[in-house]
């Protein structure tokens, strides 16, 4: 049972430094976390979700922050960087960026946070829409979509943030 619990748990980022992220020329410059928290630049949330979904199947890699492999916070950091928003590397730091969002008001592109390995926030994902989110879990080994209302994720939900 302990092995199952460890296999089902998600990342608590190691703090590895990510590789530089390429930015499309028409997306503008990256913002700092402070700028992102003020709501600028504006993000096309559907394009952001599309970019996140295009990474489904990329393997989980502890400390990973590029399409060769992601951990949870490396995944969110990479996806947001494609839209000019610089997120911190650590899950707990990402939980401080942007503005808090009520669970009843979640929108595509919002970050959702969970307590999976320790008390407090230890996992992050991106809302797809409806009841779904996309993330880099360690349990399946690949970026995938899951339901917020699942019996595993629902009780572990801690909060959500809107960035950009």
Q: Please list the active-site residues.
A: 72, 123, 135
Question: For residues 60 and 9, what is the distance between their CA atoms, to the nearest angstrom?
Answer: 12
Handedness of CA 151, 153, 39, 65 (dihedral sign): negative
Beta pairing class for 132-135 and 144-147:
antiparallel
Distances (CA, A) of 44 to 85, 109, 112: 12, 9, 18
Q: How many helices (H) and strands (E) does the chain have?
A: 5, 8
> Strand, helix or coil at 111?
strand
27's CB contacts (< 8 A; 6+ apart) are 82, 83, 84
Alpha helices in the chain (DSSP H): 2-8, 33-37, 45-53, 72-81, 91-94
């Amino acid at each position: 049972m302990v092995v199952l619990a460890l296999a089902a748990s998600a990342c608590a980022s190691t703090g590895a430094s990510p590789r530089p992220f390429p930015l499309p020329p028409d997306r503008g410059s990256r913002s700092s976390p402070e700028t992102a928290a003020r709501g600028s630049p504006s993000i096309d949330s559907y394009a952001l979700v599309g970019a996140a979904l295009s990474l489904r199947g990329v393997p989980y890699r502890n400390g990973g922050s590029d399409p060769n492999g992601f951990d949870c916070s490396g995944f969110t950091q990479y996806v947001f960087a494609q839209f000019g928003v610089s997120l911190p590397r650590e899950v707990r730091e990402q939980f401080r960026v942007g503005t808090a969002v009520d669970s009843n008001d979640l929108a595509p592109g919002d970050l959702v946070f969970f307590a999976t390995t320790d008390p407090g926030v230890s996992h992050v994902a991106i809302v797809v829409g409806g009841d779904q989110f996309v993330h880099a879990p360690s349990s399946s080994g690949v970026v995938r979509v899951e339901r917020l209302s699942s019996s595993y994720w629902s009780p572990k939900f801690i909060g959500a943030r809107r960035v950009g």
